[in-house]
Chains A and B, each alone.
Chain A
Amino acid sequence: MPEQYTDTLSNGLVLLGERIEGVRSAAVGFFVGAGSSYDPDDRNGLAHFTEAMLLEGTTSRSSRQISEQLDSLGVRYSTSVDAEVIALSGVMVGTKLESALEILTDVLLHPSFPEQELEQTRSSILQELRHEEDEPMVQVRNVLRKVYYDGHPYSKRPNGEPDAVQGLRRDELVEHHEHYFSPANAVCAVAGDFDWDAFRRLIERYLGSWRGEARAPEIGPPSPTAQIHVESRQTQQEHIAAASPSVPYGHPDYYAAVVASDVLGGGMSSRLFEEVREKRGLAYQVGAAYAPGRHLGSWRVYAGTTPEKAPQTYSVLMQELGRIDSEGISEEEFERFRGLARSHILMSGESTGARLRSLLTSWWYERRIRSLAEVRERLDALTQDQVNALLKQWPMSGQLVVCALGPNTKEGLVGANG
């Protein structure tokens, strides 16, 4: 079984590690609490713009030097942003870890936000946002986020709104970085082939003098309101996405939620796949998932279907949500999908990138990490009754927000009484 490590530097930076035997790669990454939730309301895009500028130059490296030096080490690297964090990570052959860390920590701490790159990056972001308009499957998720989290910081689009991005100034980016990038507001993790003591010394060397006390402010729980929101678009399919509240990260019923959502729509033998696709041929893509969150998680459902079949698809989706809430899941379903979850989690242990994400995410939302052995024990201890009790307490059709994008009107999709 892999060994896990945690430590905290004197400046408050938390370090996490998981050694995986038999691999040659190492994945290293950082989360900083500087995501889009902290964008001021008229400045939605600040976090993404800041994130996109990290690789555009530091006080001692140009963007080209950063790229060429990381490429020469064979590091596959990226930055990203979501509602809570800006992430920076790289996967490499383990022997390159030391050299890669020197560059990645420079990128994290000393971005210089050069003027010319700023305008180029602004143009890239504006184009990326326009591109999303051409992808209805992405757009329907954007619409759902906005409606479901209405009034909550999570409602902000993580990569920004064009008008705000247009107006962002360099000093705002510099300030966002200065304010949120502090050791107490970040976590660093490594997974794969590394030596923990050597890794700790390296981090101490590169990040030991990092100062700052700032912590991102606590984000409160969202409170979604049940509704059906339909937007008209000239697309080939009607894209239907829905969400409703469920348990958060770290909840004792976390794995019960994973199993419940998989029974509904997590694979080829799931209920939605069977009822929507296999029996009726209504959709190619249909599924459900459990998306954990800080104070609340959510149940998620998606189906894409041609406009004529959309009303029937919608009614089958509603019927199946109602059925799992009222009847629960059978013992056979429970065993099958618990086994599936167990196997998938064990197999994910072979990917350094997957383990890195898991370490960073569990620390961020739960302030602790879990070994695969512990996950396995929790799955072994799970019961069918626990899953069914969860569905009573957090019904999938409770406070359900449905969004649809496509040629149908609301009446056309859900009928006159919707």
Chain B
Amino acid sequence: MAKGNDLLSVERLSNGLTVVGQRMPGVESVAVGFHVRTGSRDESPDVAGVSHFLEHMMFKGTERRSALDISREFEQMGAEFNAFTWVESTVYYARVLGDQLPHALDLLADMMRPKLDPQEFTTEKGVIIEEIARSEDQPTHDLIHKLFATFFSPHPLGNSVLGTEESIRALPVERMRDYQLRRYSPNNMVLGIAGNFDWDRLLPLAEEKSRPWGEGESGHAAAEFRPEPRVAVEVRSNLQQEHVALASAGPDQASDETWAAELAAAILGDSSGSRLYWEVAQKGLADSIETEYYGFDGAGMFLSYYSASPEKAPEVLRIVRSEMERLASEGPTEEELERAKVKAVSDAVIGGEATHRRMFEVVDLYVAKGRALSLDEITRAIESVKVEDVLRVLSRYPLTPFTVQAAGPLSEPELLG
């Protein structure tokens, strides 16, 4: 059991709810939130989009509170609050000054058992449909969603987070209720907290607020992922630039190789100072280019994306492919790796000063690795990566051949040559 002055700890409550917390002496604020291990990968096709739609409905009232009560209470306590849904997680959080923590926790915990009022459910369908339309007006956003489908399908990580207008219109409230009870069980949730709080007061409070929650499913159904390169080029003549995203498999989130994978992605395609920055962005061949690594439960991916004029886009694609091949065969230089490590450590230190960011980080790493990592442990993990580790991860998870998802003026033969 954590003591009042422990800085970092993981606790399991009697109902199975995990609490992961980082005390940060000297700060006034505290970020607290529920990370639910559920998202679009846990949906069957007939309820596509239910996880994200549910996230909206969680703000629409409980037995004790109306929708307006929920938002007013958050705002009365001066909270910054938000929620987001991704492929395998749904997160609700608030950042408040320390004295408001009991209130914030009471409200967030109450929200975890929503009323799902049928009237509100129908009205909110309109909002979700607007969100889908908005996403289509954001080419990069839209492209990444489509890339997930092309790259992962039929693995459920390829399921759409927003769903479609048809799937949302057809969804009955009973299916959402059933999904909510199955997936929002204490054994499938993590209560994350970082900042100004005290373990001795937090734990009994968390225990009390989550006591009535019944058991349900935990984790995600196992599914085999067999990546194969695919090409999906959508001709959209109303776009000025060609928007291109590329994906290949990477280590899964539990792997020891995630640190090397992160550094490999940064060396290849960080938004500044990386190989692709110098070969593409700095030369004016694209308006932006970036490579990222994402780890999931049982799968992982390297993702690169850029937007370039239709005249330059094919050339950029050739450069990206050859830079990927060169990095995989030669590996990074010692100096390059060192710079990437310094940047990663500096980002962790600076980012870790914001209570909500530290909270997301400590929970995400707990979900990925099964334990909480202090800033010192993260620093050591980054600093211990060697050139050979980067070479090894890139030989086990080749960046080429990749899956291509594109939207813009070019046809497939025009882009791929």
Contact = CB atoms under 8 A, between A and B. Distances in A.
A63 B278 CA distance: 10
Contact of A278 (B67, B75, B125, B238): B67
A137 B29 contact: no
14 contacts: A71-B273, A76-B346, A124-B287, A127-B287, A135-B138, A269-B75, A339-B75, A340-B75, A340-B78, A342-B78, A346-B97, A347-B78, A347-B95, A350-B27
A284 B134 contact: yes
A133 B97 contact: no
B126 A282 contact: yes
Interface stretch (A81-89, A229-237, A292-300): A229-237
A269 to B, nearest CB: 4
B286 interface: yes
Contacts of A274: 68
A119 interface: yes
A277 B126 CA distance: 9
Query: Which bracket fits the contact residues of A?
Result: 35 or more
Contact of A68 (B59, B134, B339, B346): B339
B131 interface: yes
Contacts of B287: 124, 127-128, 130-131
Given A71-B273, A119-B284, A267-B71, A130 B241 contact: yes
A183 interface: no
Nearest to B165: A306
Contacts of B78: 339-340, 342-344, 346-347
Contacts of A73: 342
Interface string A348-361: 01111000000000
A23 interface: yes
B27 to A, nearest CB: 6
B310 to A, nearest CB: 10
A339 B73 CA distance: 11
A268 B139 contact: no
Contact of B137 (A119, A236, A279): A236
Contact of A72 (B95, B339, B347): B339
Interface of A: 21-25, 63-64, 67-68, 71-76, 91-93, 117, 119-124, 126-128, 130-131, 133-137, 234-237, 239, 267-269, 273-274, 277-285, 304-306, 309, 336-337, 339-340, 342-344, 346-347, 349-352
A139 B347 CA distance: 32
A360 to B, nearest CB: 18
B265 interface: no
Given A93-B350, A124-B284, A269-B71, A283 B273 contact: no
Given A25-B349, A71-B342, A237 B134 contact: yes
B384 interface: no
Q: What are the 10 tightest A-B residue pairs by CB atom distance, in nearest-first order?
A: A343-B78, A281-B126, A74-B346, A22-B26, A123-B284, A268-B71, A127-B287, A269-B71, A120-B284, A284-B131
Interface string B1-30: 000000000000000000000000111110
A281 B125 contact: yes
Contact of B130 (A24, A72, A117, A282): A282
Interface in B109-135: 123-131, 133-134
Given A130-B287, A136-B137, A340-B78, 11 more contacts: A25-B350, A68-B339, A71-B273, A91-B350, A120-B283, A122-B284, A137-B137, A284-B130, A284-B131, A305-B130, A344-B78
B282 A63 contact: yes
A347 B29 contact: yes
B18 to A, nearest CB: 26
Interface string B267-298: 00000110000100111111110000000000
